[in-house]
Structure 1
Amino acid sequence: MTLLRPITTKDSSITFHSDRYDETYHSVSGAKEEAIKKFAEPCGIAGYNRVAVLDICFGLGYNSAAALDLFRGDHIEIVALEDDPGIIDQIKHISVDFSSYPVIKTLAKDRVFKDSRADLRLLIDDARQAIKSLPSDHFDVIFLDPFSPKKCPELWTEGFFKEIFRVCKKESMLATYSCARVVRDNLRSAGFIVTDGPVVGRKAPGTLAIKQ
């Protein structure tokens, strides 16, 4: 069982340190800020009328919560992948300033949430296996948020990125915090067009990748 230690980040939102990976789930400069500025905003969530989001490495659900808060359209679908039920179990204890976080708490408890505007599913499985069950050419937005390439290399490979590419629609947008050369090279090899993402909480930018 993975040991998790809570940490208050600089924007007062909570993250956890994982002893399994010896890393935190979010940037200590601000977990909420990272979800909004590195993931939801750069992918243009607010501009969609209908959108399908794949949230890879759901963690505490902040990226999905940021997407729900920003979305103003008719319908949003989120499929979330997470392999550690331990971090999902922490969600019920979290208080964070996302208006949609009660939805995330319901999703964590029931593994599904559905109303007139939102359809959410949480799959507890290795992302490399779970993604194989997902339809091709389906998602508009991908949040790619594993632990670092050094600590979790299996989720940064060309092979995994090809599976992500498969499930993306044309003109879809992928966002990730990492700008590591191996990450960008593997994204390009999988077929994506790669560019800098925003600089948030550190000197280096994130990465955005488009399926054209």
Structure 2
Amino acid sequence: MTWTENGTPVSARFDDPYFTIGAGLDETRHVFLAGNDLPARYRDGFHIAELGFGTGLNLLAAMELWQGPGVLHFTSFEAFPLPSEDMARALAAFGLPGATALVAAWAASGGPLRVLELPGLRAEIHIGDARDILPCWPGQADAWFLDGFSPAKNPELWSEALMAEVARHTAPGGTFATYTAAGHVRRALAEAGFSVTRRPGYGRKKHMSTGILEEAAA
């Protein structure tokens, strides 16, 4: 990881920032929360799944809007987990409630499955290649945050096969949202069974993509 002058974390492996420079939280709210019509759809047991855990910003933003009662479930797949020190530094700029608890839970966890118990939320972070792990995951998500690095720089996380697995692990009526509007990604999601919509993106990004799965994918 490297850092820009204004403190934005950048993946050296993919040469791509973890979030939009100077506006990470606003981008998360626009793309992943509003894009999945959250928090309006929240209910006890609502399940969010995510490709690319990164700094944990999406989890905190989703948790901030959770009012309960009950438990919000969050599952993420991350091949390159950050050290807790880098996570803390990346999240410090946003002042989100729960950030300290998240970093502490992350630092105390380890292994291929990291279980994080936070107030009102249970998170399971699968460490490894989502192409290998997701097909074996027994769960189904009500909403997906597709947040891998740019498809041009991280094509493995946007393949047709993986998008089909996303659909297969989506509950009927479930949704996805992503910052990218790349044509091949949108086609892969449509072929997997989602009704895909191109929507205004955040900031300089002209478009983003959302979708809904009307029926369970085969």
TM-score normalised according to structure 1 size: 0.88
Offset of residue 113 of structure 1 = 2.0
Considering only aligned residues, what root-mean-square deviation do their CA atoms show, in Å?
1.9
Aligned length: 204
Q: List runs of 5+ in structure 2 lacking aligned partners.
A: none
Q: Give % identity.
A: 28
Number of the residue aligned with 2:63: 68
Number of the residue aligned with 1:165: 167
Equivalent-residue separation in structure 2 for 1:78 and 1:118 (angstroms)? 7
Offset of residue 8 of structure 1 = 6.0
Amino acid at match of 2:54: G
Offset of residue 88 of structure 1 = 5.4
Distance 1:5 1:115, change over 3 A: closer
Offset of residue 24 of structure 1 = 1.1
| Aligned structure 1 segments of 4 or more residues deviating by more than 6 angstroms | none
Equivalent-residue separation in structure 2 for 1:8 and 1:68 (angstroms)? 29
1:20 aligns to 2:13 (yes or no):
yes
Q: Secondary structure at the match of 2:196?
A: strand
Offset of residue 198 of structure 1 = 3.9
Q: Residues 8 and 28 of structure 1 are in contact (CA less than 8 Å); yes or no, is this contact kept in structure 2?
A: no
> Residues 1-212 of structure 1 correspond to what in structure 2 (within 5 A)?
4-7=1-4, 14-47=7-40, 48-50=42-44, 51-74=46-69, 75-86=71-82, 90-94=86-90, 95=92, 96-109=94-107, 110=109, 111-114=114-117, 117-136=120-139, 138-212=140-214
Which segment is superposed worse, 140-149 or 16-25?
16-25
Q: Secondary structure at the match of 2:134?
A: helix
Equivalent-residue separation in structure 2 for 1:193 and 1:131 (angstroms)? 21
Render the CA deviation track for 1:147-166: whole Å, top value 9, x for unaligned.
Answer: 11111111111110110011
TM-score normalised according to structure 2 size: 0.85
Q: List runs of 5+ in structure 1 lacking aligned partners.
A: none
Q: Residues 55 and 80 of structure 1 are in contact (CA less than 8 Å); yes or no, is this contact kept in structure 2?
A: yes
Offset of residue 29 of structure 1 = 4.9
Render the CA deviation track for 1:12-57: whole Å, top value 9, x for unaligned.
Answer: xx53112211111111251111111111222123121121011210
Distance 1:113 1:187, change over 3 A: same
Render the CA deviation track for 1:69-102: whole Å, top value 9, x for unaligned.
Answer: 1122332000121111346551133413211223
Equivalent-residue separation in structure 2 for 1:173 and 1:103 (angstroms)? 28
Equivalent-residue separation in structure 2 for 1:56 and 1:114 (angstroms)? 20
